Amino acid sequence: MTEQKEENIVEVDLEIQVETMQTNHSRKSTLKVITLVTLTLQNAMVALSMRYARTRPGDMFISSTAVVMAEVFKLFVCLILVYHTESISWKHFISLLNNTIIKQPMDTLKVCIPSLVYLIQNNLLYVSTSNLDAATYQVTYQLKIFTTAVFSVLILKRKLLRHQWIALVILILGVVLVQLNNSTDKSQKTYPDQNRIVGLVAALIACCLSGFAGVYFEKILKGAEISIWMRNIQLSFVSIPLGFVMCFVTDWNNINNKGFFFGYDLYIVYLIILQAAGGLIVAMVVKYADNILKGFATSLAIVVACVFSMYFFDFTISIQFVVGTMLVMCSIFLYSYTKQKKSPNLNTTLKA
């Protein structure tokens, strides 16, 4: 009788474990879907929104100020996240910031390089979207996959698989086809002073900076036991002062004559929040998603950007553009592909 009771208790425990693990699996699946949708929308909307912001009628805002304000917003969000996830009281929160940022100056100085690089990159993206249509920009900017791979090999000493090198070659081929096509949108006719070469060069430099900064940031993340949110706070603490310096060095005349917030309206506020959200969403991807999911979201974002460009910017798509875009999308999937081992059945594992 006692043995039967013990067996019943064990079976109940196993059932509870199965239900708990299934619930956790369900939550992770839900978070993956949310991450996919969020990343897709953010990737697509940031390109379209930046393009519209730089070509719409009315007073033109100063792009360098928008870059700084995005960093300010990101700092605010990360402070809230650290307060709620890593501290138990306001006093402990202040102590945590002091111990991590002020009392470890050398560790904080490590983020100076990516902070400056990200600032220059974000400013260049405005130059690129001012001179390239949203669809072309979205496809071209995928070259950051190539630069990230190269810097991963050089800095992190990673070894790429054969299919990944093939994917990178296909990626370059696809971007070249897209850049050589004759597709246009109505904004290029409205603003004839736009220079496609300038937009391309800005995008290429931004891709190089993105690859380097991303790999460097990954290296310092792995080198210390600091959360990604705290690292983002460190980044913002350094990048905000640097950003203000960059504003006044590059746009002093405009800021002095028109004001720091010249041309700002609700749309620019939305754009700033959207840009700031990019870095936070990447953190979600690192935590909840995988490379396949990220590749799928990026490819889907390209499709969304192309479709929206057709309807809102009268973008005309050529066969060459379609072929180039398809090559880029295929390369993203191929580069992200990894053979995954089959996981054993949940119930079998528990009962074994």
How many helices (H) and strands (E) are present in the chain, helices listed first?
16, 0
**Residue 262 confidence (pLDDT):** 94
Token couple for 216: 């460097």
DSSP output for 284-339: HHHHH--HHHHHHHHHHHHHHHHHHHHHHS-PPPPHHHHHHHHHHHHHHHHHH---
Instruction: Choose between 254 and 221: higher pLDDT.
Output: 254
Number of domains in the chain: 1
Residue with tokens 């299919």: 163
pLDDT confidence bin for 3, thresholds 50/70/90: low
Domain of 79, in residue numbers: 2-351
Identify the weakest region by mean pLDDT among 111-115, 132-136, 191-195, 322-326: 191-195
**Residue 341 confidence (pLDDT):** 47
Q: How many residues are there in the chain?
A: 352
**Residue 24 confidence (pLDDT):** 53
- In this predicted structure, the answer to whether residue 328 has a pLDDT above a threshold of 50 is yes
**Residue 293 confidence (pLDDT):** 62
**d(Cα 347, Cα 343) in Å, to the nearest integer?**
12
Residues 6+ apart with CB under 8 A from 315: 133, 134, 135, 183, 184, 185, 306, 309
Token couple for 32: 């993956």
- In this predicted structure, the answer to whether residue 349 has a pLDDT above a threshold of 50 is no
pLDDT confidence bin for 318, thresholds 50/70/90: confident
Average pLDDT value for residue range 237-248: 93
pLDDT confidence bin for 145, thresholds 50/70/90: confident
**d(Cα 331, Cα 163) in Å, to the nearest integer?**
9
**Residue 347 confidence (pLDDT):** 43
- In this predicted structure, the answer to whether residue 170 has a pLDDT above a threshold of 60 is yes
In degrees and rounded to multiples of 5, residue 50 shows phi and psi of: -65, -40
Average pLDDT value for residue range 223-239: 83
CA distances from 342 to 275, 330, 345, 346 (A): 38, 24, 9, 12
Identify the weakest region by mean pLDDT among 80-84, 188-192, 238-242: 188-192
Average pLDDT value for residue range 232-254: 91
